[in-house]
Amino acid sequence: MTGRVLVTGNSSGLGRGFTEAYLQRGWQVYGVSRRGCDGLDGELHDVTCDLGDADAIAPALARLLDGVERLDLAILNAGVLGPIRDLAATPVATLEEVMTVNVWANKRILDWLLARPLPVDRVVLISSGAAVVGHRGWGAYALSKATLNMLTQLYAHEFPDSQLLALAPGLVDTEMQDELCDPARTDATRFPSLERLRAARGSAAMPDPRAAAERIADLLPTLQERPSGSFVDVRDL
């Protein structure tokens, strides 16, 4: 099966992994990222856009998807980690910055798809296990992903012809792990959940982005019967 897929945050990490995986499968990939995605073979259409800039999203999507009449899949992957620190020490302004990218950028994309309208069979919003497990230090990220899960559930009512899923990809060895696994940047004695990440890095429990994306691409057809709006953690499958 081939088709058309929109991938956000596809310049690096899991987003680039999705881009490579679907290009290899013969799909047309439409990518949105801050830095762009190049050096890949296949039918890749790419536009640069800072998803933290609310006013830039709609024009970027209009340029990227001009002439496209339907998407088979949209993977809303772009996200930021935010600081690992106690919530009491995290300013509201910092929480708002993380929410801008992890939640409100996705809302603007969903609104654009509805308003165009551009039919899409399935929308996968990349969530996290942090959305349901409140480990110390993960305040900004966890709050944003928990909100993203509810955003998915609520928008499922407004996309009656699409399946929306909030999907936690499990541990993935991305640039985000560089910060989380660096003792000089984050303190595992203060935030014990980091020890698990550091132990997993370099093992099968934390695959590279391409391997993680391939696994998710293989799993997605098996999730067609899940109710729209569901939260799915790949580690439970």
CB neighbour class for 185 (10 Å; exposed up to 12, middle 13-18, buried from 19): exposed
Q: What is the mean pLDDT of the chain?
A: 95
Residue 167 parent element (H or E): strand 163-168
Alpha-carbon distance values, 221 to 1, 128, 136, 200, 224 (Å): 10, 20, 35, 28, 6
Mean pLDDT of 47-74: 97
pLDDT in tens, 137-180: 999 999 999 999 999 999 999 999 999 999 999 999 998 898 88
Say whether 20 sits in a helix, a strand or coil. helix
Beta bridge partners of 125: 76, 166
* Alpha carbons 229 and 157: distance in angstroms, whole number: 8
Q: What is the percent of the chain with per-residue pLDDT over 70, rounded to a whole number? A: 100
Could you tell me the pTM of the whole model?
0.95
CATH code for the part of the protein at 4-175+209-236: 3.40.50.720
* Alpha carbons 201 and 207: distance in angstroms, whole number: 8
Mean pLDDT of 65-69: 97
Among 66, 212, 204, smallest CA distance to 128 is for 212
Residue 209 parent element (H or E): helix 209-219
Mean pLDDT of 80-107: 97
Alpha-carbon distance values, 75 to 29, 64, 94, 121, 149 (Å): 11, 15, 25, 11, 14
Question: Which residue matches tokens 């690992």?
Answer: 84
User: Does the structure show a pLDDT above 90 at 225?
Assistant: yes
Question: Band of the pLDDT at 38, cuts 50, 70, 90?
Answer: confident
Q: What is the percent of the chain with per-residue pLDDT over 90, rounded to a whole number? A: 87
Mean pLDDT of 27-55: 93
Say whether 37 sits in a helix, a strand or coil. coil
- At residue 1, the pLDDT reads 78
Say whether 6 sits in a helix, a strand or coil. strand
Alpha-carbon distance values, 91 to 53, 76, 83, 88 (Å): 20, 26, 10, 8
- At residue 32, the pLDDT reads 96
Question: Which residue matches tokens 């929410």?
Answer: 99
Q: Are 37 and 105 in contact (CB under 8 A)?
A: no
Among 158, 168, 146, 151, smallest CA distance to 223 is for 168
* Alpha carbons 212 and 220: distance in angstroms, whole number: 12
